[in-house]
Amino acid sequence: MSMLDDTQAYLSDAFDALGFTGLQKRLFQTPSREVKVELVIERDNGELAHFIGFRVQHDNSRGPYKGGLRYHPHVDLGEVNSLASLMTWKTAVIDVPFGGAKGGIQCDPATLSLREQERLTRRFVDAIHEVIGPYTDIPAPDVNTNGQHMAWFFDQYSRLNGHSPGVVTGKPVDLFGSAGREAATGRGVMFAVLEALRHDGEDIRGKKVAVQGYGNVGSWAARLLAAQGAQIVAVSDVRGGVQSPEGLDLAAVDAQVKATGSVVGTPGTDAITNEALLVMACDILIPAALGEVITADNAPHLRCRYIAEGANGPTTYAANQILNARGVTTLPDIFANAGGVTVSWFEWVQNIQQFQWTEAEVNSRLEDKMRAGFQALVATAGRHRCGLREAAFILALERVAAATRKRGFL
């Protein structure tokens, strides 16, 4: 099964729970628009290079399309479709006034210089600028893109359409970005975990946490959970991982990343592979890298009690069934990593109002949204006697369907 099949299967269970049939199902399974563009840039050595970019707009009944842009060799139409659909359900679960979209460029940014990435980003804006906009579709960072890419995006779009800071979120703080946006997804994961533990009458202090993926989401989740008293027992990136049973010194991990570009070889740690990290004994496992890493093969062997999905689509449908049967509590992606898009909303609001919020205000409003989101999931799970992931899809579908109906469709 592909990632798109998994997303459709989760959705299909929600259709069944709500008694949706034929046309309704097709409406919510099918994206509104799929855009595929050819991008040609000049490499630094003067040669031409050729790439394919995508933007999929899934649903905008609750507000403008919204979702990140990823630069990765695996980006294809199926994956972008799946991720765009997840954004529709994510913005509905966390109740921000956006729909769902996703985009990306099939490329390996590790082989591209910064100047080449800039040219690629600008060509992408040239190719899609007619179908996006501050009230139409608002991109943001995702895998391998960051504030710098968003700054180029904003600049190129504004050259074509006039000053438009609200066309993209996740911008640098000194170029119309929001305080707290960079850490927001990881901070949201932290709030999700704290809320789930509080609900179960447990304490974060001393809990063992393993984090797969020490990028923007995973590293912030690790740092913020450590600051709450958790022990981060392992972290990893594409090159491999490090572990320490007493808890890693994250300042040392950060220094290693700064010096070498990877967590691998951090002094005072032992090595661990990505595969071994997923099945190590811990209280909370945070997959925060790519999709489809928890599968029917490794799900029977996972030794965590909670999974907090920092990544999008990390758990296949078959793995989810195994984990449900084993009583592992999953904080699903469309809730657990919604802190990013929530603070994207705050950034967009500040751009539109030409106003700035303090970081304390952003963080406290984010906490309110994550807590409310968790409570809504628990209530839905109680009503439908299901797990939190199933509840998330049901809640999201109810909200999107209500908006669609009131607009006059359905």
Task: Lay out the site mask for ligand GLU across 343-382 (x = CB under 6 A, - = otherwise).
Answer: -x--------------------------------------
Size of the site for ligand GLU (CB under 6 A): 11
Q: CB burial class (10 A; 0-12, 13-18, 19+) of residue 135?
A: exposed
Task: Lay out the site mask for ligand GLU across 84-123 (x = CB under 6 A, - = otherwise).
Answer: ----------------------------------------
96 phi and psi, to 5 degrees? -110, 150
Strands (E) across 238-296 are located at 240-243, 270-272, 284-287
Q: In this chain, which residue has its C-beta nearest to ligand GLU?
A: 68
Q: Does 236 bind ligand GLU (CB under 6 A)?
A: no
Here the tokens at position 272 are 């661990």
Minimum CB–partner distance for residue 312 and ligand GLU (Å): 5
Q: Does 340 bind ligand GLU (CB under 6 A)?
A: yes
Q: Does 142 bind ligand GLU (CB under 6 A)?
A: yes
- Helices and strands of the chain, counted as H and E runs: 14, 12
Helices marked H in 200-306 — which ranges?
216-227, 250-260, 274-278
DSSP for residue 94: T
Q: Which of 92, 204, 336, 341 binds ligand GLU (CB under 6 A)?
A: 341
Identify whether the C-beta of residue 51 lies closer than 8 Å to the C-beta of residue 107.
yes
Which C-beta is closer to ligand GLU: that of 17 or that of 147? 147
Q: Is 208 a catalytic residue?
A: no
Minimum CB–partner distance for residue 337 and ligand GLU (Å): 6
Minimum CB–partner distance for residue 190 and ligand GLU (Å): 16
Helix (H) or strand (E) holding 400: helix 388-406
Here the tokens at position 169 are 């979120």
Q: Which of 66, 90, 102, 208 is catalytic?
A: 102
Q: Does 180 bind ligand GLU (CB under 6 A)?
A: no
Compute the chain's Rg from CA coordinates. Answer: 20
Residues at the interface with ligand GLU (CB under 6 A): 66-68, 140, 142, 169, 312, 337, 340-341, 344
